[in-house]
Amino acid sequence: MQRFLTIVLALIFALYGSQMAMATHPEEHSEPYSASEPPLVPHIALLLPLESPAFGVAANIVKDGFVAATMRGQPLPLIIRIYSTTDDPLDTLVTYYEAVTAGAVFVVGPLTRDGVSATASSSQLKVPTLALNTVDNTATLPPKFYLFGLQMETEASQIAKWAQNSDRNHAIVISDDGPLSKRLQNAFIQRWQSEEGKTAESFRYSEDPARLQQFRNLTAGNNHLVFLALDSAKSRVLRTYLDPDVPVYATSQIFTGANNFLLNNDLNGIQFLDMPWLIQPDHPAVMAYRHTDKAQSPDMERLYALGIDAFRLMTYLLQPQSVEEISFDGVTGYIHFAPPNQFVREAVSAQFEQGKIQLLDVQKNSIENEGQ
């Protein structure tokens, strides 16, 4: 039984004729799809864990965003087939090969980190692939295997570079014991200390009243700033105990929606990053695409936006140009290539002010050459 749905977006080869040119590194040359390779239907494969109990909801939202993006812009030269997998890396890898064997000349996906790692480690990748997550070691990725996603570690690194422009030289980083919090802490500190004279120290989050009172004394002063590697709930608890005159930064996980006025008021003064899709409704790209009524949370909205920009980035990769030339203003941020194989997005800077979101006029912080 075939495991995919087919979306016909345009006649095959409507734009480029009988050959398909892919974006390459400057030293590489594109090769047209060979009709002699079995079997026989050249197409774009969208590979998502739609059958996964854990990731199925998220995968469907990404799919909806991807499909919504197909409704705008120029027609594609190929049909798109959606391949449904579980979250088992082996199943993902097998389905990837099924897609290529069925004629896929470009693959978008996998979505899960384990799926991306399994696919990237294969020695038999034959077609350009745009993975929607990351791997631990980006230095050993095969050619034409590109990474694009919503990794908050990159946000933490971008925030550190943003904060480097302040007059503060010492960073107090507060994290919990969760793996994401630790990754955010490490990404921030690594980037922060890349500039000479910048120092940092880390503290563990606690809701013990005595420990919270200590944070008030700890953060007092005029030579340091605070980075919260925490979610919104923990940041709201902690905010009251931080010196109100000390700059406080956080990632997008602190933002739970513009309508949460009372909750956002508890985060007053905290500066953070998030995507235009959520905090900049008048952004030209955001206004160009319809929103979904299926996303029940900001996290789901972010995944929907990921689907939109994954489609847009794919259309650039289908053009006969170097990947290093690709950059555009997306709904998830300003997107550009960072060697060796990653597309990064620069999010929008904002601040909580009396329960509302205020965009900040901060110069874009280039995060080229980031290996996060």
Which element (helix H / strand E) includes 66?
A: helix 56-70
Reported confidence tier of residue 128, pLDDT bands at 50, 70, 90? very high
Q: What mean pLDDT comes out for the span 106-127?
A: 92
- What is the architecture of the domain spanning 153-275+348-359? 3-Layer(aba) Sandwich (3.40)
Reported confidence tier of residue 372, pLDDT bands at 50, 70, 90? very low
Reported confidence tier of residue 23, pLDDT bands at 50, 70, 90? very low
Q: What mean pLDDT comes out for the span 123-137?
A: 90
Q: Using CA atoms of 124, 127, 130, 135 in order, give the dihedral in degrees to the nearest 10.
A: 10
Q: Per residue in 211-227, pLDDT tens? A: 899 888 888 777 899 99
Question: Which residues, at least 6 apart from 179, have a Cβ–Cβ distance to it below 8 Å?
Answer: none
pLDDT at 364: 43
Q: Which two tokens stand for residue 84?
A: 């449904």
Q: What's the alpha-carbon Rg for the chain, to the nearest Å?
A: 22
pLDDT at 295: 84
- What is the architecture of the domain spanning 4-147? 3-Layer(aba) Sandwich (3.40)
The domain segmentation of the chain, as residue ranges, is 4-147, 153-275+348-359
Q: What mean pLDDT comes out for the span 70-99?
A: 92
Q: Phi/psi zone of residue 333: left (φ > 0), alpha (ψ -120 to 50 degrees), beta?
A: left
| DSSP-assigned states of every residue in 298-356 | HHHHHHHHHHHHHHHHHHHHTSSSBGGG-EEE-SSSEEEEETTTEEEEE-EEEEEETTE
Q: Which of 50, 23, 36, 26 is nearest to 127 (CA)?
A: 23
Q: What mean pLDDT comes out for the span 47-73?
A: 95
pLDDT at 362: 56
Q: How far apart are CA 282 and CA 74, in angstroms?
A: 23
Q: What mean pLDDT comes out for the span 93-106?
A: 95
Q: Is the pLDDT of residue 63 over 60?
A: yes
| DSSP-assigned states of every residue in 346-369 | E-EEEEEETTEEEE--------TT
- Helices 113-120, 89-101: inter-axial angle, 10-degree rounding: 60
Q: Per residue in 133-172, pLDDT tens? A: 998 887 788 989 999 999 999 999 999 999 999 889 999 9
Q: How far apart are CA 78 and CA 363, in angstroms?
A: 38
Portion of the chain with pLDDT greater than 70, in percent: 86
Q: Which is more confidently placed, 162 or 125?
A: 162
Strand partners, 79: 43
Q: Which two tokens stand for residue 287?
A: 């206004």
Reported confidence tier of residue 363, pLDDT bands at 50, 70, 90? very low
**Average pLDDT of the residues of the chain:** 86
Q: Is the pLDDT of residue 11 over 70?
A: no
Q: What mean pLDDT comes out for the span 87-116?
A: 96
Q: Is the pLDDT of residue 69 over 60?
A: yes
pTM: 0.87
Reported confidence tier of residue 370, pLDDT bands at 50, 70, 90? very low
Q: Is the pLDDT of residue 14 over 80?
A: no
Q: Per residue in 313-354, pLDDT tens? A: 999 999 999 999 999 999 999 999 999 999 999 999 999 999
Within this chain, domains 4-147 and 153-275+348-359 share the same CATH topology: yes
